[in-house]
A and B are shown apart, each in its own frame.
Chain A
Amino acid sequence: AQKVTQAQTEISVVEKEDVTLDCVYETRDTTYYLFWYKQPPSGELVFLIRRNSFDEQNEISGRYSWNFQKSTSSFNFTITASQVVDSAVYFCALSEALGGSYIPTFGRGTSLIVHP
């Protein structure tokens, strides 16, 4: 069984602060995939990043960065210099083979509120 834990239910910051969203996962598979999605108030789910279990390199995309550490089973997401538009619910997801199809299990999400 797989499990994704996003322990932070809600985070509130002031604009321009840096913020890290935690994601801890559990899996027995050696091959798996991790994702982050953003759900703004409008409701749609927006893909942010995909990482496979064999690639532990950290990734930076503009103000977003991701830290993948297999040793601690974590895939944390940092937003640098947060902006009001970053306010959303962020989901971490883990996918492993389920009958031949990699179906992601989503964490419960972290609601990020960025105040002006």
Chain B
Amino acid sequence: DSGVTQTPKHLITATGQRVTLRCSPRSGDLSVYWYQQSLDQGLQFLIQYYNGEERAKGNILERFSAQQFPDLHSELNLSSLELGDSALYFCASSMSRSSGGAGETQYFGPGTRLLVL
């Protein structure tokens, strides 16, 4: 158990809908990262938040957004869902006490499996 929690574990929805995925980092970790894992794209970094602020952005679609709240939990919002958004979404956290979080180990949650029908 990494200490990172994600809810829900599974989500089935229809195209065009909007969903919210939730992540609670390990106790004491300030950074939260979101990843998408699909069969064709592999594990892709979406976005990072550090202590409530966006720190880095990867291959995140404009239809997707995220935020980190004062209690450090994070939510990933996926809107106007398409079939191709079906994937496993991971949240990870790291301590990031230093400014860059250089090379810190990221600990992953169990993931949310999203199926868009």
Contacts and interface: CB of A to CB of B under 8 A. Distances in A.
Contacts of A42: 110
Interface string B25-63: 000000001000000001101001010000110100000
A99 to B, nearest CB: 6
Contacts of B56: 98-101, 103
B70 interface: no
A97 B102 contact: yes
A95 interface: yes
Interface of A: 31-33, 35, 37, 42-47, 50, 52, 91, 95, 97-109
Contacts, number: 66
B111 A43 contact: yes
Contact of B48 (A35, A45, A103, A106): A103
Interface residues of B, number: 27
Interface string B101-114: 11111111111010
Please name the 7 residue pairs, one residue from A and one from B, whose CB atoms are nearest each other, closest first. Answer: A33-B103, A45-B108, A101-B56, A106-B43, A44-B110, A108-B42, A101-B55
Nearest to B92: A45
B88 interface: yes
B3 to A, nearest CB: 11
A52 B110 CA distance: 26
Most buried by A among B42, B55, B92, B111: B42
Nearest to A91: B43
B59 to A, nearest CB: 11
Interface in B78-100: 88, 90, 92, 99-100
A104 B106 CA distance: 9
A98 B100 CA distance: 9
28 contacts: A32-B103, A33-B102, A33-B103, A37-B108, A42-B110, A43-B88, A43-B111, A44-B110, A45-B92, A45-B108, A45-B111, A47-B106, A47-B107, A50-B105, A91-B43, A97-B100, A99-B55, A100-B99, A102-B100, A102-B101, A102-B103, A102-B104, A103-B45, A103-B48, A103-B58, A105-B45, A106-B43, A107-B42
A45 B90 contact: yes
B77 interface: no
